[in-house]
Amino acid sequence: MAEAYRWRVQEHGPTGSVIREAFDPPSPGPGWARIALRAMALNHLDLWTTWGLEGVKLPIPITPGCDGAGVVEAVGEGSALPPGVELGSSVMIAPGLSCGVCAACLRGDDMACAAYKVLGHMCDGTAATHVLVPAANLLPIPPNWDFKQAAAFPLVYLTAWEMLHRKAKLQPGESVLVWGGGSGVGSAALQLARLLGGHALAVVGDDAKAMRCWELGAEHVIVRTREDVAKKVRELTGKRGVEVVFEHTGTATWGASMAAVARGGRIVTCGSTTGVETPLNLRALFAKQITILGSYMGRREHLWTLLEFIKRNPTNPPFFPVVDRVFRLEDYPEAQRHLEAGKGFGKVVCEVAP
């Protein structure tokens, strides 16, 4: 049997500073399952967990990695498995863990649970050959997806669906500006905006990414390195602006987002990759009657909702995970560096040898 190992943040440091260590995969307790991973996908949270976040105490040492897919290898005594999942099944993992019994959990808002954790950030994650997760966090993989696609799906699609559908309430015919259309969450947002009947305008950094956004259903693509984004949005919308801005970058784009949104429009944000502090023009906020919505992950049940769309049309699905580049898990530090460089399109994935 191949050695079981995991990548560990022993102390916060630069990208790729994680340490590989061998370990004995523990047995799952009641309500939990052990997954032999076949693929894991990176998110910016992998980088933030590695670097450390100012004002946030992370439980290091820790194994990063929020997304993963593999095979159910062991199940804790008395554990109930979700529909379509059994011992030996191929599964993907919902990355958010909650207590399951508080008021927020009982009404379905598990991401509002006071005990909410994301795999690989506040507990050990998927940059490993094996991971323990609650059995309730397992989902069957669509039959036409491989492990790499399955690993690339959960976090970004859950996040984008929560932002567009539940928070911003994107309506058919409305326009939405998607920053970072070539990112994992941006590529998901472009496809889900089309599914919801919206008109997506993507913002990217180069022409190669622009071509990929057109393929994913963007109706306009703005290359930010040669065009003023807010000015171009006003031009494309007859000076009206977009009804929704899909924000996940922070400081560098906030001013343009405020300028690009229409009167009565909504800005929904889930990230701050370019910084957390940003000026807010209060006059513009109230005069344009802008609504600003914060969003973090999403209801676990909505992953099942999204899978229903795939089941209805498996040969021509309305969306699909976009995989940029595949590394071996042995090369996880290099995968981190590739993600940080920001030159790819879609999700960075590591394949785990069985």
| 54-97 confidence digits (pLDDT tens) | 888 999 999 999 999 999 999 999 899 999 999 999 999 999 99
What's the chain's average pLDDT? Answer: 95
Q: What is the pLDDT of residues 283-338, one digit of tens each?
A: 999 999 999 999 999 999 999 999 999 999 888 899 999 999 999 999 999 999 99
Query: Nearest CA to 33 among 84, 91, 111?
Result: 91
CA distance 239 to 220: 15
CA distance 210 to 202: 8
CA distance 168 to 196: 12
Decide if 5-153+321-351 and 157-294 have a common fold.
yes
Q: Confidence class of residue 273 from pLDDT cuts 50, 70 and 90? A: confident
248 pLDDT more than 90 = yes
161 pLDDT more than 80 = yes
Q: What is the pLDDT of residues 10-24, one digit of tens each?
A: 999 999 999 999 999
CA distance 20 to 235: 51
Q: Confidence class of residue 277 from pLDDT cuts 50, 70 and 90? A: confident
Domain ranges of the chain: 5-153+321-351, 157-294
Query: Nearest CA to 61 among 4, 18, 15, 14?
Result: 18
Give the CATH superfamily of 157-294. Medium-chain alcohol dehydrogenases, catalytic domain (3.90.180.10)
136 pLDDT more than 90 = yes
Q: Which burial class, exposed, middle or buried, applies to 137 when counting CB atoms under 10 A from its CB (0-12, 13-18, 19+)?
A: buried
Domain 5-153+321-351 class?
alpha beta
Phi and psi for 32 in degrees, rounded to 5?
A: -120, 165
1 pLDDT more than 70 = no
Query: Nearest CA to 216 among 174, 241, 187?
Result: 187
| Tokens found for residue 152 | 């690339």
What's the confidence (pLDDT) of residue 80?
94
Over residues 135-151, the mean pLDDT reads 96
What's the confidence (pLDDT) of residue 138?
98
Q: Report the share of the chain in percent with pLDDT over 90.
A: 91
Higher pLDDT, 175 or 53: 175
3-state secondary structure labels for all residues of 40-82: EECCHHHHHHHHCECCECCCCCECCCCEEEEEEEEECCCCCCC
